[in-house]
Structure 1
Amino acid sequence: MENTRVRESTDDCAICLDNILEKRTLKCSHSFCSACINSVFKFKPACPICNTYHGEYTGTQPEGSMTVTRSWQRLPGFEHCGSIVIQYSFPAGIQGPEHPNPGVRYSSTSRTAFLPASAEGEKVLKLLRKAFDRRLTFTIGRSVTTGLNNVITWNDIHHKTNMDGGPQCFGYPDPEYLFRVQEELRLKGVTHDG
């Protein structure tokens, strides 16, 4: 019996799984057929292998506002500083062509989130503002919490919606939260330099 091994070739495109034609190498060092990566970038300008963004990604968040205030109240685990209060507000509207059910209504909603008013919290706030401005923070779809369709939902950028109660209550203390949310933002192409 012959011992056969599948040979991974760096000359194969990870999209079409054939030999690379008109090779295009991204800044993350992954290479693809030029036509293949161009077709992927029409939907999401990110490397299909490592998810590094190449360009700016804009989401499907409906029109709304992000208001930031400061509070003297301290968050558990951040007793050395006050807190940042983020208020997101969205009026009711009708889904556009970028949403799952164009022409169908969605209801208004508002959400409140909290960050520590520390140096790291301020960095995260700037990233959250950038994500909101790029329409990445929310989307329209099915709510995991209520099971309802055609509602405004979070879009995989986790927020602390309670001041306390720990991670199980979406609150503080949660020593890894500021690191985790920056990683979630990075995966959506939102970084301090991009």
Structure 2
Amino acid sequence: TERKEDSKQPSLIPPTAQQNAEASTKKGASGDSKDDFCPICLDRLIKQKQLRCKHTFCDECLQASLKHIGPMCPVCKDVFGVMEGDQPDGVMTWSSDSSSLPGFSGCGCIVITYTFPSGKQAEKHPNPGQPYQGTNRTAYLPDNEEGQEVLKLLKKAFDQKMIFTVGTSRTSGLDNQVIWNDISHKTSKTGGPQRYGYPDPDYLRKVKEDLKAKGIE
């Protein structure tokens, strides 16, 4: 006969966190509000800090979270400060082109150029001290009011080092490359979404959502 204790599945929650969660539940059942407990350590709040989104944490827990994910609420992901990424040193320039993009007749286009020389990885990168391979990238926006708005947001994101990072290239599979960092770009004038080009009526909305998720708006 199988012994019950041998058939138990291991918990996916670390023991200390699980014990704190159980203790939190028991305390809540005894009359204490769940708002008295930190959602990170699951224990009673110590030197509590409340963010603008109204979520409250222990000061020490919040400081640890800041080091890990930056000024973003660990619960609802609301950004409450200036996010800064690990983009290596590079240059962003742009110019106007008289040709129209598919789906945006009646206006020219904005040509954005990103230039990154090769260099050495910093502490925030996957392999500190090792070299990384630079890159040159070109992207396109319609030269209308919304396109100009997106350009300003992209420049802000670039200045906060959030458009690129160092990692493994999805196309070549090579490590230690300067790569995109999850902010949508159109790198072709044509070909539609499948080829990262136009027409794509949802693109400007989507890129603004990508930027907002990183605190850029």
Q: State whether TM-score is above 0.5.
A: yes
d(CA) in 1 for partners of 2:198 and 2:38? Answer: 44
Q: Deviations over 1:6-53 (max 9, x none)?
A: 779233322112222222110112111222112111231110112111
Q: How many residues of Structure 1 are paired with residues of Structure 2 in the alignment?
A: 186
> In the alignment, residue 179 of structure 2 is paired with which amino acid?
T
Q: Which residue of 2 aligns with 1:31?
A: 56
Deviations 1:123-155 (A, max 9, x none): 100000011111111000111222111000001
- Aligned residue in 2 for 1:3: none
Three-state SS of the structure 2 residue aligned to 1:120 is helix
Alignment of 1:36-51 (within 5 A): 36-43=61-68, 44-51=70-77
Q: Which amino acid aligns with 2:64?
A: S
Matches within 5 A, 1:4-153: 9-43=34-68, 44-153=70-179
Runs of 4+ in 1 over 6 A off after TM superposition: none
Q: CA deviation at 1:169?
A: 0.6
Greater Rg by CA: 2
Q: Which amino acid counterpart does residue 132 of structure 2 have in structure 1?
A: Y
Unaligned runs of 5+ in 2: 1-24
- CA–CA separation in structure 1 for the residues paired with 2:35 and 2:187: 45
Which consecutive residues of structure 1, in runs of 5 or more, have no partner in the other structure? 1-5
| 1:178 to partner: Cα distance | 0.8
Cα distance in 1, alignment partners of residues 39 and 206 from structure 2: 28
Between the aligned partners of 1:184 and 1:41, the Cα distance in structure 2 is 21
- Determine the C-alpha separation between the residues in 2 that align with 1:176 and 1:20: 43
- Find the residue that maps to 2:34 and give its secondary structure: coil
TM-score under structure 1 normalisation?
0.91
Q: Taking CA–CA contacts closer than 8 Å with sequence separation of 6 or more, which of the two structures ends up with the larger relative contact order?
A: 1
- Structure 1 distance, partners of 2:39, 2:110, is 43
1:36 aligned counterpart, secondary structure: helix
When you count helix as a share of all residues, which structure comes out higher? Answer: 2
Q: Percent identity?
A: 49
State the Cα distance separating 1:99 from its structure 2 match. 1.2
Q: Per the alignment, in what secondary structure is the counterpart of residue 111 of structure 1?
A: strand
TM-score normalized by the length of structure 2: 0.81
Cα separation, 1, equivalents of 2:101 and 2:36 = 52
Give the distance between the partners of 2:106 and 2:39, measured in 1 at CA: 49
Whole-angstrom CA distance in 2 between matches of 1:76 and 1:13: 51
Tell me the SS of whatever aligns to 1:85. Answer: strand
